Amino acid sequence: MNYSELQIEFEKVIDREKFSDKVKPIRERAFENFMSLGFPNKKWEDWRFTNLSGFNKNSYVVTDKSHNAPTGLNLDRFHIPDMHTIVFINGHYDTELSDKIDGVKLMTSLEYDEYKNSSINFVSKCPFELLNTAFMDSGMSMVIHENNTLNKPVRFLFVTSSNENIMIFPKINIECKENSSLTFLQHSVGASNDFFVNSSISCFLGKNSSMQHIKIMGESKNGIIFNKINVQQKHNSRYDFLQFSYDSSLSRTKIEAELNGDGAECSLNGLSLSRKNQQLGTHITTNHFTPNCWSNQNFKNILLGSSSGVFNGRTIVHKDAQKTDSQQSNKNLILSKNALMNSNPQLEIYADDVKCSHGSTTGALDEDALFYLRSRGLNSIEAKKLLMRGFAIELFEDLKHEPTKNFIVNKFENWLVHNAA
């Protein structure tokens, strides 16, 4: 995707009548900033291990009403029982396929900013965040009211299915007000030609609120998926994040979490499975601004073929954030001689009364353990599957919603069947 192609697609978006005059200058300013900044390259520290050649060589078109769900689209294989589902087809909210949810306020991103008496932020040093603001096409915001606990998880199901190479720019806001609780599932799948999804999700947690955020990216082997997640936490709030990522040609998740209230807790976890030439990357910054907060980063990767992975984990403890307790862990299994993992856990500590640790390990399956299992009667494939399962499965243990847990475990087991040979 080159600059002139982006300019043509941007002009299509600007000319659409459905967007208000208030949004147009925001889009234009963001696109102007992007054009000044340009695409990242390997000289940029945060991007030096991300290969954008697959994005650069393709051309994409923005979606419109002609990119509705194709006839016969079957969503049954993505079914997870006992949850509310909001469906987006090619970036557009589908009312017929979506559930109605009591106790939840749904609105567009613009309505949400008016509701919050704020404005959409286009000041960014990241080119793809600027593009998200310039092209935002599938905005949805959800507010969980005070003292409200939803009895079922809420899933946003993003389905990409088109005969064209399309690009989609979701902008999502999730707010849990004081003393509220939510399990939120972000589920992206693709059954399309080459496509590009560049999403932005902002999570706001009020005092004493909690959110479990589960992110599933899979069955998108032709997809390039970039996702920025912003988390802002207040006093005694709890944010639990789990990412399960597999089968995308290139995916990049960037998380920025801010702990802005005493007693806030933030747990970030993930498992990435890559094979062939796939690239899966996770980039995290956790900012501790106030005392007595806890955070955790625990990410694992299993790499096969000529795939590559990136973990950039950064925890910043500011000078007023005394009594901070923070851990980082990145563990990686490399199961072929051509796979590559780049791991960079970082601590920046400006307070003097903290408990922080970080660590990273990368290696192959334990040969002694494989030998022992084979001596007990397991064949080579079953022994490998058992060790890979033991490496990964602890990440799923804290999932509260059993149907979601079963869905993820089944996808993981299916991946093992096809890749543990």
355 assigned to some structural domain: no
Last residue of a domain, one of 209, 234, 261: 261
Residue 98, domain member (yes or no): yes
**Which ranges of 41-143 would DSSP assign to H, the alpha helix?**
53-56, 109-115, 127-135
pLDDT 10s digits, 147-177: 999 989 999 999 888 888 899 999 899 999 9
Instruction: Calculate the CA 414 to chain-centre distance.
Output: 22
pLDDT at 336 over 90: yes
In a domain, 406, yes or no: yes
Which tops the pLDDT comparison, 1 or 238?
238
Question: Of 207, 269, 214, 196, which is closest to residue 238 (Cα–Cα)?
Answer: 207
Do residues 266 and 231 make contact, with C-beta atoms less than 8 angstroms apart? yes
For 319, the token pair is 């000078």
Q: Over 60: is that where the pLDDT of 122 sits?
A: no
Asked if residue 160 and residue 38 are part of one domain, the reply reads yes
Residue 294 located in a structural domain: no
* Tens of pLDDT, residues 192-227: 668 899 999 999 999 999 999 999 988 777 789 999
User: Considering 261, 281, 298, which residue would you say is the last residue of a domain?
Assistant: 261
Range in 80-89, 116-125, 191-200 the model is least confident about: 116-125
Buried b or exposed e, range 166-204, using 16+ CB within 10 angstroms: bbbbbbbbbbbbbbbbbbbbbbbbbbbbbbbbbbbbbbb
Q: According to the model, what pLDDT value does residue 144 have?
A: 93
Residue 395 belongs to domain spanning: 366-421
Number of H helices, E strands in the chain: 8, 21
Q: Is residue 358 part of a domain?
A: no
More confident residue, 3 or 110: 3
The last residue of a domain, from among 261, 281, 296: 261
Q: Whole-model pTM? A: 0.94
User: Do residues 239 and 100 share a domain?
Assistant: yes
- Give 358-382 pLDDT, tens digit per residue: 999 999 999 999 999 999 999 999 9
